[in-house]
Structure formats: C-alpha cells, structure tokens
Amino acid sequence: MSSTEQGTSSAAPAEPTTAPESAAAPEVPESFYYVHGKDKVVHKVSAGALQHSALIHGMISNLGYTEEQAKANPFPFENIDGDILQMVVDWCNQHKGKPTPPEDTNLPKQKEKLFDLVLAVNYLEIKELLTYCCKQVAMMVKGKSPEEIREIWMIPTDAEDEAAEKEAKKRAGKEAAGETAAAAGDAK
C-alpha cells in the first residue's frame, strides 16, 4: 500500500514514500508516476499498478518521463476526493500484475463512499474494479422490497421526475432568455 503526504500543488510535490516492491525484483527498474486528487496529496504509483487504469495507462504510455520529470508533473485528478483516490491507488497496488479474483476481499467496503468510488473508477476506466463496484451497488438492494429499493437507490417517483423536468425546462428557458438579452446588449 502506498503511503502519502500532503503536497501543495503539482508544481512542488513533496517527496512521497514509495510503494512496497513486489517480492521478485524486476530486471528492468520499474518506472513510477505520481497522481493527486482534490486534496493535493501526491501518491507514488508504479506503472505496473497504473496499467489497471485505461485512462492513465493511455496518458503515460507515450510520455517517456524520467523519474524527476514524473515527480515534477503529477497527474491531477481534481474531480476525485483524496480518500477515494487513496482507495483506488491501494487497489491498483494490491492487484499489480495479477487478475482480480471473482470475489475480491481486498476491496473497499464503505457503502457511504461507493457512489464517489464508482464515479472515480469509471472516470479512470478501471474495468475490473468497476465491475466489482457495480456488483456492490446491486448487492445493496438484494432481497429488498420496492419501497426499500426506492429509498436505497433514491429513485424519484414519476411525479418527482415530472416536477424536476419542468423545473429544468424552466431554468433552461430563463438561461436562454438571459443569453439572448446579453447578446442584444453586446450588439448595442
């Protein structure tokens, strides 16, 4: 599991501690990259672990960064909370170079964080973790009654959906009217 420390920005990341190496040392020195979330805490992650993320793997595959360049340019994921990114990084490290088993006991269990975790995993395109997260979301309503499913998954009623749709239309209409007025003002 990688340890982290508070960084200030991508321009001056503090020295993070390294993730534990796998038992068998690779012949070629492993390259590392750096990522941070909304909290600016920088995580040092090996390229092997990052292969789980199709998004990051695509970003780094042609960079050819040196260790110093990588450290100086951590990938910013401002849309991901720090604790969520930590979970994702931990998972990637634990599954570096190996496939995920069907029932992965190393995965985060906090249901309160599940929504943010799903969004982050989907954004980072970590397919295996996303599959597991979707199963977790489904498990939340296993054997529940219709009312309970509605509550747990926060499903609006038709009346609520209709009211929300009307509200959205109204807002869109106002915005359009505002833009037209602004454009007319500019023209004058």
Partner 1 sequence: MSVNGTEMALLQRFGQLNIRKKSPKSRIPLFKLPQLVLLECIENLDVLEILIFSLLSKRAKSTVKLIRWNPLDLRLKFEDDTHICLKFPSDPSREWVVDYDKESSYPYFQSTLKGPNVSRHLVLKDNGNAMGEIKQMIEHICEVFRSSICGIDIFEESLIEWVINLQSTIQYVSINDDIIISVQTLNRIFKNLKVTEFFRLGSIKTDQKFEITEPIPSRLVTIYKSYWFTLPAILNGRIWIIKYDDEYNSSEYPYFQSKLTGPKVVHYLLLKDDVGAIEDSKQMTEHICKVFHSPITDIQIGEESVIEWVVKFQPTIRCLLIPESVVISVETLDRILKNIKIKEFLMLGSVAKDKNIQIVEPIPPHSIIVCDSHWITLPSILNGTNSTIRLFGSKLTPMDINTILKEWQMGSKLRNLQYLEIDAVTLEDPHSFADETFQGLNVTRSRDNDGRPTTV
Site membership for partner 1, residue 141 (CB under 8 A): yes
C-alpha 22: how far from chain center:
25
Among 14, 54, 63, 138, binds partner 1 (CB under 8 A): 138
Stretch near partner 1 under the rule CB under 8 A, chosen from 81-89, 90-98, 156-164, 167-175: 156-164
Q: Report the residue number, 62 or 145, with the smaller CB distance to partner 1.
A: 145
CB–CB of 49/92 below 8 Å?
yes
Among 11, 25, 154, 184, binds partner 1 (CB under 8 A): 154
CB–CB of 49/19 below 8 Å?
yes
Token pair belonging to 100:
């995920």
Site membership for partner 1, residue 94 (CB under 8 A): no
> Which residue in 126, 113, 36 sits closest to 79, CA to CA?
36
Among 20, 97, 156, 173, binds partner 1 (CB under 8 A): 156
DSSP 118: H
Among 97, 153, 170, 174, binds partner 1 (CB under 8 A): 153
